[in-house]
Structure 1
Amino acid sequence: MNYAPRTLRELAALKDILYGSDSTTADQVQDRDHDHDQEQASGPADQRSRKDHLTDKLLERLFAATLPVADTTPAGDPSSDVVERLQDQKNRPAFSVSVMARNFSRLNSRIGVVFKLQYRVLRVITWRNSSHTFSTLAVYSFCCLYPFLLAVLPIAVIVIGFMVPAFVKRHPPPPSPLPSFPVPSEGPPLADAAEFRPVPELSRDFLMNMRDIQNAMDDFTRAYDKIVHKLARPTSFKDEQYSSAVYLALVLAGVITFLAAPYLPWRHVFLALGWIVISVGHPNARQVIKSSHELYMSPQEKKLSSLFELWVEKDIVLDAPPEVRHVEIFELQRRGTDVAEWETWLFSSSPYEPNSPAHVGKQRPQGVRFLDEVNPPPGWKFGHDSVWKLDLQPLGWVQQRSVVDVNIEHDSKWVYDCDHDDGRKGEWRRRRWCRTCERQPETDLH
Structure 2
Amino acid sequence: MDDFGADVFVNRDDPIPTIILDGSTPPRPRTPDTPTEFSDVETPSNRRKGLRGRFSAFKEKAKIQDQLIEKLLAQVVPMDDAQIPEDEPPPKGGSPGVVRPNFNLTTMSNNFRRFNSRIGVVFVFQARAIRLLSWRQPTHTLSFLTIYTFVCLDPYLLPLLPLTILLLCVLVPNFIARHPAAEFSLSSEQAIGYSPHGPPLAPAITVKPVKELSRDFFRNMRDLQNSMEDFSQLHDGIIKLVVPRTNFSDEALSSALFVSLFAVCLFMSVAANVLPWRLIFLTLGWVVTCMGHPAIQRQLQTAHEKHIHPQEEKARSLVGKWVERDIVLDSAAETREVEIFELQHLSGAGEWEAWLFSASPYDPLSPGRIARDKPIGTRFFEDVLPPQGWEWSEKKWALDLWSREWVEERIITGVEVETEGERWVYDIYDEQAVEKVGVIEPPVPGKGKEKEKSKAPPLKPSWEEGEDGDGRRGEWRRRRWVRLVKRKNLPEVPT
Structure-2-length-normalised TM-score: 0.70
Per-residue CA deviations over 1:351-396 (Å, capped at 9, x if unaligned) read 222222210111111110111111112222223x432111222333
Report what 2:344 is aligned to.
333
Contact 1:418 1:426 in 2 (8 A): yes
**3-state SS of the aligned residue for 2:307?**
helix
**3-state SS of the aligned residue for 2:108?**
helix
**3-state SS of the aligned residue for 1:263?**
coil
Aligned ranges for residues 50-69 of structure 1 at < 5 Å?
Answer: 59-64=78-83
Which of 431, 436, 439 pairs up with 2:484?
436
Report what 1:389 is aligned to.
398
Q: How many residues align?
A: 391
Which of 368, 386, 398 pairs up with 1:358?
368
2: distance between equivalents of 1:258 and 1:295? 39
Contact 1:17 1:101 in 2 (8 A): no
Call closer, same or farther: CA 1:5–1:19 in 2, change over 3 Å: farther
Report what 1:128 is aligned to.
136
2: distance between equivalents of 1:184 and 1:371? 101
Aligned ranges for residues 261-340 of structure 1 at < 5 Å?
Answer: 261-318=272-329, 320-338=331-349
Unaligned runs of 5+ in 2: 1-13, 15-31, 44-60, 89-95, 433-470
2: distance between equivalents of 1:294 and 1:183? 55
Which of 186, 198, 217 pairs up with 1:187?
198
1:101 paired to 2:109: yes
2: distance between equivalents of 1:232 and 1:89? 36
Identity score, percent: 41
Call closer, same or farther: CA 1:174–1:224 in 2, change over 3 Å: same
Q: Structure 1 counterpart of 2:485, which letter?
A: C
1:133 deviates by 1.4
Call closer, same or farther: CA 1:197–1:251 in 2, change over 3 Å: same
Report what 2:378 is aligned to.
368
1:226 deviates by 2.0
Instruction: Give the number of the structure whose alpha-carbon radius of gyration is greater.
Output: 2
Q: Structure 1 counterpart of 2:404, which letter?
A: L
Contact 2:151 2:158 in 1 (8 A): yes
Call closer, same or farther: CA 1:182–1:142 in 2, change over 3 Å: farther
**3-state SS of the aligned residue for 2:202?**
coil
Structure-1-length-normalised TM-score: 0.77
1:19 paired to 2:29: no
2: distance between equivalents of 1:69 and 1:252? 44
Per-residue CA deviations over 1:84-134 (Å, capped at 9, x if unaligned) read xxxx99943333332222221111101111111111111111112222212
Call closer, same or farther: CA 1:200–1:250 in 2, change over 3 Å: same
Report what 1:424 is aligned to.
472
Unaligned runs of 5+ in 1: 24-51, 71-87
Aligned ranges for residues 107-118 of structure 1 at < 5 Å?
Answer: 107-118=115-126
2: distance between equivalents of 1:181 and 1:378? 89
Contact 1:60 1:95 in 2 (8 A): no
1:8 deviates by 7.8
**3-state SS of the aligned residue for 1:427?**
strand
1:119 paired to 2:103: no
Report what 2:36 is aligned to.
6
Which of 258, 269, 282 pairs up with 1:247?
258
Per-residue CA deviations over 1:277-307 (Å, capped at 9, x if unaligned) read 1111111221222223333333333322221
Contact 1:60 1:96 in 2 (8 A): no
Contact 2:69 2:109 in 1 (8 A): no
Call closer, same or farther: CA 1:146–1:399 in 2, change over 3 Å: farther
Report what 2:419 is aligned to.
410
Per-residue CA deviations over 1:22-47 (Å, capped at 9, x if unaligned) read 99xxxxxxxxxxxxxxxxxxxxxxxx
Higher mean C-alpha displacement, 249-258 vs 274-283: 249-258
Report what 2:152 is aligned to.
144
Structure of greater relative contact order (alpha carbons < 8 Å, 6+ residues apart): 2
Contact 2:256 2:323 in 1 (8 A): yes
